[in-house]
Each structure stands twice: as C-alpha cells, then as structure tokens.
Amino acid sequence: MKIIKLSDVPTSEINMAGVKNLVKQIPIGSMDGSPNFSFRVFTINKDGHTPYHSHPYEHINYIISGKGVIKNNNHEEVPIEKGYFSLILADEMHQYINKSNEPLVVICAVPKEKE
C-alpha cells in the first residue's frame, strides 16, 4: 500500500516540442509496483499547454483545479474546469490549454507501461 500527499511528490518540468509551462508529478506508478495503472498529475501554468498529440492508448483525466480547454480532433476547444472528467481514446488528437491566470491541474491515469 502507498499513501502520499500530492504536495510531497517531486515535480519535473516537461521540456519537449509543443509544450509550454508544464510540470509533471507521478504520485503512483510503476516504481511503486502498481500492477496496471499510473497516475500522473500535470500542472499547466498560465499561458501553458500540452502538445497537440495522440498516442495508441486511452487515458482518463480529472480536473483537480483551474479552467481551460481541451482541443479535440476537429481543433475545437471544449471548455473544462475543476470537477470535470475526460476520456481520451486511443489515437484521438488532444491538447490541454490553460485559459486562466491560475494553474490548470489535471490527473491523468494511463497504463503503467505508458508512464
């Protein structure tokens, strides 16, 4: 069993093409012996975003705090905020964009192999 406070989880800045003002934490994942899932937490700071991308596995997200949009396959921007869930299917294009002055904080559950 593992129990940890998010504020005690180390952060790492994400520096890759298409990313701006993004920090990642992994409170529970493969390094903890999780047999199936990894839970990542992304903090997208003011004017930040994830890359517009897809991958061959689904993931489920929950918005912990903040406001923003998810850009979908059609480049439409769907508003999201604290309390929203999203299911991104395999190979579905998507991008999270912070549209506020406060951080947009998102839990992202993925298969542990895709951590």
Lookup: tokens for 71:
């850009």
Cβ distance 58 to 93 under 8 Å? no
The CATH class of 6-114 is mainly beta
Residue 85: the pLDDT is: 98
The whole-angstrom separation of Cα 83 and Cα 73 is 23
Residue 21: the pLDDT is: 97
Residue 112: the pLDDT is: 86
Residue 114: the pLDDT is: 82
What are the domain boundaries of the chain?
6-114
- Which ranges of 1-115 does DSSP label H, i.e. alpha helix? none
pLDDT by residue (tens digit) across 4-33?
999 999 999 999 999 999 999 999 999 999
Residue 95: the pLDDT is: 98
* Helix, coil or strand: residue 81: strand
Q: Residue range 52-64: average pLDDT? A: 95
Cβ distance 61 to 37 under 8 Å? no
Return the half-sphere exposure (C-beta side, CA atoms, 13 A cut-off) of residue 107.
17
Q: Residue range 52-69: average pLDDT? A: 96
